[in-house]
Amino acid sequence: MNNAPEFRNPQEAGASTSAPLPETRTIQPSRRELMRAVGVAGLAMVAGAALKGPLAMAQSSSSSPSLSTSKVNPFRDPSYAEGARQRMQQFSGGGADPEATRAIFAKMTSFDAEPWVAEWTKLAVPFEQKGAELESQGKMAEANKAYEKASRYYEVARFPVINHPAKQAAYRKCIENFRKAIRSWDPPLEIVEIPFEGKKIVGHLRKPKGVTRPPVVIRTGGVDGYKEGRNLNESLAIGAAGFEVDMPGAGECPIFNKPDSEKVYVAIIDYLTTRQDLDGRRIGFVGGSYGGYYGAKMAYVEPKRLRACVEFGGPIHYTWQEDWLRYLLTDEKEYFWPFPDSMIYANGLKDFDELVRTAPAMSLKEQGWLSKPNAPMLCVNGDKDPWISPQEIPLLLSTGEPKMARIMAGAKHMGRGSQERGAVGEMVNAWLKEKLA
């Protein structure tokens, strides 16, 4: 059975936009203990949410506070209308029923997590139950389709980030149903677990049929687009294997987004070079949205082991500065939810003030990378991005070694709103294929 459209391509997710259930791991105090607490508090909020053991994530021991304390109802306020329209379009395009989506948006009165999760859970549970019933009858293909739909609804329930026990519980259910849904995928998806600092990195690997020792493309990002929403078809289309992993501070990644978090990807590259069924001499890297940061950073960190790196709409320097962060806090509403909330959660911070204090240390300019040798790099984004500073790509192009770029005129984040977006995506894939040949 082919993958259904609910499991979108990596660059189609949220802001950032843009995890199966193997053995779970013990979580470091910063990101995992919350999942244990969720086993009591959050699971009670999500019908039937029950996984064995804690989820493999680097959870904070307390939920990140929300910046959204206004009495304004964002689901009705005109200043949020465009953001609401884009989110409804995103969820419906990913497989959610359009009418049900509109009904939920009409019912909501705030960004509070519990009512949001409850409404989407009501849509997920019937598909989850249907999947179980069909599976008991031995109708596996139909059952897996139902589980796929349930996973999609739980994915929306946990959106944009899992900074509340109810959202973490919904994410557990998303993973549980996703791992059932993929049983019919062809070629299959392998759940990979890589030991890492006493924890585990969980990744998804798919290999193209009929290709001996294919090259492999590591894909990651963004802040709200977790790996369960992706199918790796872009990599298969160019005869490459795809390895999908949540970026630091997202999904099941064992660590938060910090100045040294590239070590997660170094460990992944170390692992991939040991696989005899993959060509570890031909590795590409695609970072999307918030994770586009690593599409650039890894080009500097691993200039010899990576053959091609794509920086697709990621922060580099300007997005980490106070002026941009305050703009996101006060003026930016297209993300719909407060974007700094997602950054605070992903970076493992307490509040906006801590984000302002610590974010500049994430800058590749401040870290001294921009003048160093880099693997071949392709930089892509829209020049009207409201979430990631449009100054990032010009900075990359004006420093260090020559790079390639494709900037979509008049387009927003990662090319949203541009008629060229699809063609540019094909161009990126063609570039990767050439570099990995």
In sequence order, which residues have a C-beta less than 8 Å from that of residue 210 and are 6 or more positions away? none
For Cα atoms 362, 313, 60, give the angle at the middle one, nearest 5 degrees: 45
- C-alpha to C-alpha distance for 130 and 121, rounded to whole angstroms: 14
Say whether 390 sits in a helix, a strand or coil: coil
Q: In the structure, what pLDDT confidence band is assigned to residue 49 with cuts at 50, 70 and 90? A: very low
- Strand pairing report for 189-196 and 199-206: antiparallel
Contact 245, 262 (CB under 8 A): no
Distance CA 287, CA 293 (A): 7
Alpha-carbon gap, residue 241 to 399, rounded angstroms: 32
Average pLDDT over residues 366-388: 98
Q: Give the tokens for residue 305.
A: 């082991």
Condensed to tens digits (0 to 9), the pLDDT of residues 189-216 reads 999 999 999 999 999 999 999 999 999 9
Other beta carbons within 10 Å of 133 = 13
| Omega before 187 within 30 of 0, i.e. cis | yes
- Give yes or no for a contact between 340 and 328, defined as CB atoms under 8 angstroms apart: yes
Amino acid (1-letter code) at residue 390: P
307: left (phi over 0), alpha (psi -120 to 50) or beta: alpha
What is the per-residue pLDDT for 116?
98
> Is the distance from CB of 296 to CB of 21 less than 8 angstroms?
no
Question: Do residues 204 and 243 touch, judged by C-beta distance below 8 A?
Answer: yes
Strands of 241-245's sheet in order across = 189-196, 199-206, 241-245, 216-220, 283-288, 308-312, 377-382, 404-408
For 112-169, what is each residue's pLDDT tens digit? Answer: 999 999 999 999 999 999 999 999 999 999 999 999 999 999 999 999 999 999 999 9
Query: What distance in Å separates the CA atoms of residue 280 and residue 269, rounded to the nearest whole number?
Result: 8
Please determine, for residue 53, whether its predicted confidence score (pLDDT) is greater than 80.
no
Q: What is the pLDDT of residues 229-288, one digit of tens each?
A: 999 999 999 999 999 999 999 999 999 999 999 999 999 999 999 999 999 999 999 999
Overall average pLDDT of the 31-46 stretch? 38
Query: Sign of dihedral through CA atoms 35, 247, 19, 170?
Result: positive
Contact 324, 316 (CB under 8 A): no
> Which residues, in sequence order, are CB contacts of 401 under 8 Å at separation 6+?
373, 374
| Local confidence band at 71 (pLDDT 50, 70, 90 cut-offs) | confident
Q: Does the structure show a pLDDT above 90 at 357?
A: yes
The stretches of 241-350 forming alpha helices (DSSP H) are 263-272, 292-301, 322-330, 339-346
Kindly list the distances between the CA atom of residue 426 and the CA atoms of 2, 309, 410, 420, 429, in Å, as whole numbers in the listed order: 20, 15, 19, 10, 5
Whether residue 186 contacts residue 254, with contact meaning beta carbons closer than 8 Å, is answered with no
Is pLDDT of 67 > 70?
A: no
